[in-house]
Amino acid sequence: MIDLHTHTVFSDGVLIPAELARRAAMAGYRALCFTDHADASNMEHILRNVRRFVDEAGPFFEISLFAGVELTHVPPALMADFVQMARDAGAQIVVCHGETVVEPVAQGTNLAALEARVDVLAHPGLITVVEAKLAAEYGIALEITTRRGHSYANGHVAAMAKRCGARLVINNDAHAPGDLVSRELRQKVGLGAGLTGEEIAQAGQNAWAIVERCRGRR
């Protein structure tokens, strides 16, 4: 298993990176990206420390580890600047906190994130056809999430992705140990969103493709 959306004590998670990595490995995950909530106030702090952990300690863990951020409640007009800021600060994977139906995310966030070429648009809520087509055109993954609340729109996201040819990934949006769900539960979440077994497997391959694309980022 692979997960591209997790949180540590550097934002609102409860585990330091080392413990999250260890617990994920023991839960059967082969790769994990730390993507703490970030804006201009904390981005450099997060990436300086998490990237140091990944680069220096990562090779000693039984799991491939990557450093990223989840741009969260960033004004759409600033999204492109923040994506570049994250890349410049060392983010290997950039996730955007999409227009989930359970938070007051600014309208236009999904579109701005796609136009700024993030790697993953997390829990994009009631994503539009235009946005899903743009995700397909740019090769940006749309997230099916196992997290309560954000998962309310999973069925819509899956349907729009299939309609428009966009890639999907399945992530936990983990904040605590119990959020690292089993392979069986991930499968059930995917099936519940309307995906077939083959499409769920493809979502995993899509996540690995993102990792391979991002390995070379400093």
Query: For residues 167 and 145, is the Cβ–Cβ distance under 8 A?
Result: no
Quick: pLDDT tens for 100-130.
999 999 999 999 999 999 999 999 999 999 9
Quick: pLDDT tens for 134-151.
999 999 999 999 999 999
Quick: pLDDT tens for 12-55.
999 999 999 999 999 999 999 999 999 999 999 999 999 999 99
Q: Which domains does the chain have, with CATH numbers?
A: 2-214 (3.20.20.140)
User: Stretch 172-193: mean pLDDT, rounded?
Assistant: 98
User: Stretch 96-100: mean pLDDT, rounded?
Assistant: 98
pTM higher than 0.95: yes
The whole-number pLDDT of residue 214 equals 81
Kindly tell me the burial class for residue 113, based on how many C-beta atoms sit within 10 Å of its own C-beta (0-12, 13-18, 19 or more): buried
